């Protein structure tokens, strides 16, 4: 089955910008989730342990830090995401959702400072999602 893609960028309700990417893939939802929070974690978050409790903190080997806002097994993880060289926090949500005969993996990044940051992160998350889906298709 060919994967479908949708990309969204824009200004959110506040003064910040957001970006979202999603792609469908024909794998079981529980297998996709297990990959995203297990061996696939370095692809989208970095080398770290992913906490599952609200308000727990994490830091990747590359210096990205954050706090877990929500962890819903087989559904989504929402966390703050702040690289060491950024002066502000952003919010990252990685989710999986069942659809007709496939699942949809989505990555949404909110709280970006400006169009330049949004453009940079759109390219980043497109590449990340392509890597994730490629790995999922080869499980």
**What was the pLDDT predicted at 11?**
55
Per DSSP, helices labelled H in 1-139 are 29-37, 41-44, 115-137
**Count of structural domains within the chain:** 1
Domain that holds residue 37: 5-137
The whole model's pTM is what?
A: 0.90
pLDDT in tens, 3-23: 555 544 465 556 789 999 999
**DSSP letters spanning 18-56:** EEEEEEEE-S-HHHHHHHHHTTTHHHHT-SS----STT-
CATH number, domain with residue 38: 3.30.530.20
What integer is the mean pLDDT of 64-73? Answer: 98
């Amino acid at each position: 089955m060919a994967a479908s893609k949708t990309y969204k960028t824009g200004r959110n309700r506040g003064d910040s910008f957001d970006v979202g990417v999603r792609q469908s893939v024909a794998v079981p939802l529980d297998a996709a989730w297990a990959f995203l929070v297990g061996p696939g974690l370095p692809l989208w978050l970095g080398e770290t342990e992913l906490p599952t409790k609200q308000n727990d903190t994490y830091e990747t080997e590359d210096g990205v830090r954050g706090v877990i806002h929500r962890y819903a097994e087989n559904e989504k993880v929402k966390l703050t995401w702040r690289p060491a060289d950024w002066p502000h926090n952003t919010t990252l949500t990685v989710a999986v959702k069942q659809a007709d005969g496939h699942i949809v993996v989505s990555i949404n990044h909110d709280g970006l400072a400006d169009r330049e940051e949004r453009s940079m992160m759109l390219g980043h998350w497109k590449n990340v999602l392509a890597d994730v889906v490629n790995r999922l298709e080869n499980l």
